Amino acid sequence: MDPKLRKEVLRKLHYGVYVATAKEGDEHAAALVTWVSQASLTPPLVMMALRKDSGIHALLRRTGRGVVHILAEGQKDLASDFFKPTRVEGDRLNGHPFRLEAGLPVLTEIPWYFQVEVREWAEGGDHAVAVAEVVAVGKNAEAEESLCLRTTGWSYGG
Amino acid sequence: MDPKLRKEVLRKLHYGVYVATAKEGDEHAAALVTWVSQASLTPPLVMMALRKDSGIHALLRRTGRGVVHILAEGQKDLASDFFKPTRVEGDRLNGHPFRLEAGLPVLTEIPWYFQVEVREWAEGGDHAVAVAEVVAVGKNAEAEESLCLRTTGWSYGG
């Protein structure tokens, strides 16, 4: 397989921009994730591929619970703060305010979010695939559209 | 969970528009699929959620092999032909020309495609999750951008 063509073709897949969070005791994880899709209507499931060497993967494996936030158009700068290692200072995660909901961090600047409970793991490759039930949804603010990865100029995959 | 809010939030996830095909003997399947994402870089894996009552799901379960086509902007009309039951007439699938590549149907009007071999299934819910390796990629034509579900005015999920 030609690696250049592989990259060209696979980067035509469409993605949003998401921040996933999890928490156990004093340990927090917050990370940008791209590979997220719904996977069932009844029950409502999503599938997420998570880097196996990431903190969010380790915490979700242990606790089975997390929150996925859906960024709005215009929140690219906010997104870029979650490329960095997770840092908690008071009521801020990587510099951004959060509150706890069902014991999980909800970033209050991001308009939409949903809480998940992992039901299954597929082994995958360098990322593991979590199939998780959406057990709660929430909205912090009104916003028109969610952020599309393509419009950020970033890409992930290939 | 408020079903209206659930729908509003989950429909903020971003998707492309894809046609998946499979074949065994004289039996063909071609279906529009929305819930597709890459799931690993090394090896290159994708994850796809497929309605359990669909022909494409049945064929992929049996054969473990298929092709995913990535539609270009402007191919909404073509996409709508794959809502319909699969119909083969000569060298056409639902009215659109195809050729065989490694024994699998490749729709020649769609610019990008990749061939997959299923490695794992997760049980999921009303859709099953296939985790599949990308074993070949191809391009039928030059095109700028792939079709984004949002721009079609359709939605899938919620």
Percent of chain A with pLDDT over 90: 100
Sheet with B27-33: strands ordered across: B27-33, B18-24, B65-70, B112-122, B127-139, B45-51, B36-40
pLDDT in tens, A57-103: 999 999 999 999 999 999 999 999 999 999 999 999 999 999 999 99
Classify residue B8: in a domain, yes or no. Answer: no
Residue A5 and residue A152 in contact, taking contact as beta carbons nearer than 8 Å: no
| Structural domain count, chain A | 1
- Domain of B126? 14-143
A118 Cβ under 8 Å from any chain B Cβ: no
Identify the CATH number of the domain in which residue A70 sits.
2.30.110.10
When CB atoms are compared, the residue of B2, B14, B129 closest to A39 is B129
Size of interface A-B (CB pairs under 8 A): 195
pLDDT in tens, B125-156: 999 999 999 999 999 999 999 999 999 999 99
Classify residue A74: in a domain, yes or no. Answer: yes
d(CA A55, CA A139): 25
When CB atoms are compared, the residue of B6, B39, B146 closest to A127 is B39
Min Cα–Cα distance to chain B from A7, Å? 9
Classify residue A25: in a domain, yes or no. Answer: yes
